Amino acid sequence: MNVTYRDYLLLSDREAIRELLTNTGVFYDFEIEVALELVDDFIDNGKKSGYYFYLAEIDGNIAGYVNFGPTPCTKSGWDLYWIAVRKDFHGEGIGGILIKKAEKEVMKNGGKKLWVETSSKQNYLPARLFYEKNTYIKAAELNEFYGPDDNKIIYGKSLKENDE
């Protein structure tokens, strides 16, 4: 499997990202629309938007992506907004490479901490295990943040130059 990575978006990526997020079977339609707003902002404004992207491609098709950016009103905090890999490529290491690329870009831009928010729902368990495998530490849990029986879980990772 030949995976290539890039750090920019093409206009055609918008629909491919929509399909990718839909394919996961995890996100609500309104969440996908929010993700696409960030894509649109980047397409219109580039890195001036404050958003960064890496995409993984296999045979010219998007297999995964990560979206992140500086946390407003902080000196060196960044947020990981979205990370998703097509179901048929889970377990191939694509997500791990994408998150490492994001971490390196954050450090290159002076970031010291990367924050991730996710749901406590059972179908988000693979995401939580993924973050923990990549040495993210659970920092907080906000009860019923998203709705009844759906807590927000916040993970964080302190970034250091020697992180591999």
Q: Is 46 helix (H, G, I), strand (E, B) or coil?
A: helix
Q: What is the pTM of this model?
A: 0.94
**Span 2-6, mean pLDDT?**
96
pLDDT at 47: 87
Q: Is 88 exposed, middle or buried (0-12, 13-18, 19+ CB in 10 A)?
A: exposed
pLDDT at 164: 52
Domains of the chain: 3-158 (3.40.630.30)
- Per-residue confidence band for 163, with pLDDT thresholds at 50, 70 and 90: low
